Chains A and B, each alone.
Chain A
Amino acid sequence: MNIIRRALTLIALVGICSVSAAPQQAAAAGKRTIAVATDATWPPMEMVDANKKIVGFDIDLMNAIAKEAGLTVEYKNTAWDGIFAGLTGGRYDAIISSVTITDERKKQYDFSDPYIQIGQILVVPKTEARAAKIADLKGKKVGAQIGTTGAFEIKKVQGVELKNYDEIGLAFEDMAAGRISGVVCDEPTAAHYALQKAEYKNKFKIVGKSFTSEAYGIVVKKGDKELVALLNKGIKAVQAKKIEDQLRKKWLR
């Protein structure tokens, strides 16, 4: 019994040492490690690839920003509807997850400078011939991911029932099953599902042009001025080097 207990204590001690050693090494190299949350269900901005790695436009961009700013990044895949609560709770230092900079969110959190401009767009089944905007779907259900600016846009339209999904992919799946008549999300994501995914290509179409203009920013805890400054420095360098344009070509086409 005693031996087992000693062995366990030893294992625990080794574990603690190795955990505390990791940041020290990073510090020795002069790099600060930050944990960054992302909801990897929003292709092509952030998603999980076939090798279970988190990839996407935002991830590549974050890596480039971190390189310029002298940061080491550790990603944490987090469900969207708790992603802001986790930041408040100190579970990570920043969020890069296609977060639109809004006044409401600015009251609660601090944002980096905007790193890309994007808009909301409506996707409908091809059978929905006459729908040109959300208001044309009065009396019907339109889906979006919970707590996203797409959902807020649907809510603004009187007579349209908003359905909130945990992940945007589930909304598209539900539209394929005929339970809802439209989905509103960010333009690149809409394009991914409506124009590139083989099983949806013949079923869905994008309606018109994006009808909002939104800027994505990296979210940090309120008052974390130091990190915001670092991130802004990185964003400026990335934009100066035209890395963003390369990433646009790579991910958004």
Chain B
Amino acid sequence: MADLERARPAIEVGDGAAIPSKSDIGLFTAWRFAFFGAVILLVYLAVTRPDPYLAILKFVPDGILVTFEVTVGAILLALVIGLVAGLGRIASNRLLNGLASLYVEVIRGIPLLVQLFYIYYALGRFVHVPDIASAIVAMAFCYGAYMGEVFRAGIQSIPKGQMEAARSLGMTRGEAMRHVILPQAVKVVLPPIGNEFIALLKDSSLVSILAVADILRRGREFASESFTYFETYTVIALVYLIITLFLSKLIGIMEERISAGN
């Protein structure tokens, strides 16, 4: 997805793109069709032709674990970096503002693959970080910049009157931010954060270039030995699809909970 779209997704929130409305929760939603379709196809392939398909499925599970580690580690770190960057971008302190803007602009302007190479191989000369850790840091740094913009947009979408009202009640700017603005902003930023989560999971396949044994790397290892390229990448694609669909459902449920809570 284009960087621009990622940078300002909060604007679309009013349309509720990611929240399924009551009307399409039936038996044949697009989600169910895709999810169970992928699962059934995968099972069918593994049962009817166990020779390559089941063998591939048995080969990738530790890769799935590594992908999860990288994704979850990176998302947690990116949320923290993003919140700091987002608050920095709206800070009135010019130094903080400048630093946060510089970070966002620089990181957003360099492809993730280049960043991965840079942190792993270029900086590897000076600091010796284990592979998965440096993969997590590189992913988090990149996604932190996008998250920063999501948080900034989310916070700025809360009407100015809210801050003014909180201040007139005697709250400091910090207190108003923590108790009034951020809780409202969380609701707004949740769908775009969910987008980022899924995008990050898919982009984590890039860490296979660092010899990190994720799903894609395991698949490539299998294919390069058995010459079963078609079968291997079919399985890899289905596994990614099933995981991301599962995630998007989870995020959808979370959104419903939070909007119902208010």
Q: A-side interface residues toward B, CB under 8 Å?
A: 80-82, 84-85, 88, 104-105, 108, 143, 146-147, 152, 163-166, 170-171, 173-174, 176-179
Closest 8 pairs (CB-CB, A-B):
A147-B224, A177-B124, A85-B229, A81-B224, A178-B128, A165-B211, A108-B227, A163-B211
Contact B227–A146 (Cβ < 8 Å): no
Q: When the two chains form their complex, are residues A84 and B125 in contact, meaning their CB atoms are under 8 A apart?
A: no
Q: In the bound complex, do residue A177 and residue B224 qualify as a contact, i.e. CB atoms below 8 Å apart?
A: no
Enumerate chain A residues within 8 angstroms of B128, measured Cβ to Cβ. 177-179
Q: How many whole Å from A204's CB to the nearest CB in chain B?
A: 15
Q: What chain A residues lie within 8 Å of B229 (beta carbons)? A: 82, 85, 88
How many of chain B's residues have a CB under 8 angstroms from any CB in A?
17
With contact pairs A164-B211, A164-B221, A170-B211 given, residues A84 and B124 touching in the complex (Cβ less than 8 Å):
no
Q: Mark B199-213, 1 if CB is under 8 A from A, else 0.
A: 000000000010101
Do residues A173 and B124 form an inter-chain contact, with CB atoms below 8 A? yes
A147–B232 CA distance with the chains assembled, in angstroms: 14
Q: B residues within 8 A CB of A152?
A: 225
Tell yes or no: B159 within 8 A of A by CB: no
A164 cross-chain contacts in B, Cβ below 8 A: 211, 213, 217, 220-221
Residues of A within 8 A of B131 (CB): 179
Q: A84-B224, A166-B211 are in contact. List 9 more A-B contacts (CB 8 A).
A: A80-B224, A81-B223, A82-B229, A146-B224, A147-B225, A170-B121, A171-B211, A174-B124, A179-B128
User: In whole angstroms, what is the CA distance A236 to B225 when docked?
Assistant: 30
A104 to B209, CA, bound (A): 26
Asked if B220 and A173 make an inter-chain contact with CB atoms under 8 angstroms apart, the answer reads no
In the complex, which residues of chain B have a beta carbon less than 8 angstroms from the beta carbon of A173? Answer: 121, 124
Cβ of B119 to closest chain A Cβ, rounded Å:
12
Task: List the B side residues contacting A143 at CB < 8 Å.
Answer: 211
Across the interface, do B130 and A179 meet the contact criterion of CB distance under 8 Å?
yes
Interface residues of B in 210-239 (CB under 8 A from A): 211, 213, 217, 220-221, 223-225, 227, 229
| CB pairs A–B below 8 angstroms (17 shown) | A82-B229, A85-B227, A88-B227, A104-B225, A143-B211, A146-B221, A147-B220, A147-B224, A147-B225, A152-B225, A163-B213, A164-B211, A173-B121, A174-B121, A176-B125, A177-B125, A179-B128
Q: Find chain A residues with CB under 8 A from B130 CB.
A: 179
Instruction: Name the residue in B209, B217, B224 with the highest tally of chain A Cβ atoms < 10 Å from its Cβ.
Output: B224
Q: For residue A80, which residue of chain B has the nearest CB? A: B224
Interface of B with A (CB < 8 Å)? 121, 124-125, 128, 130-131, 209, 211, 213, 217, 220-221, 223-225, 227, 229
Picked from A85, A163, A179, the residue with its CB within 8 Å of the CB of B124 is: A179
Give CA–CA (A193, B116) in the complex, Å: 24
Closest chain B CB from A196 CB (angstroms):
20
> What residues on A are CB-neighbors of B209 within 8 Å?
166
B218 to chain A minimum Cβ distance, whole angstroms, is: 9
- Cβ contacts under 8 Å, B217 to chain A: 164
Residues in B with CB closer than 8 Å to A178 are 128
Q: How many whole Å from B144's CB to the nearest CB in chain A?
A: 24
On chain B, the residues within 8 Å of A170 by CB distance are 121, 211
**Minimum CB–CB distance for A160 against chain B, Å:** 14
Contact check, B124 vs A146: say whether CB atoms are below 8 A apart: no
A82: B residues at CB distance < 8 A: 229
Tell me the smallest distance from the CB of A214 to a CB of chain B, in Å.
Answer: 16
Measured between beta carbons, the chain A residues less than 8 angstroms from B211 are 143, 163-166, 170-171, 174
Which of A146, A165, A173: most chain B CB closer than 10 A? A146
Residues from chain A with Cβ under 8 Å of B225 in the complex: 104, 147, 152
Q: Which residue of B lies closest to A164 (CB)?
A: B221
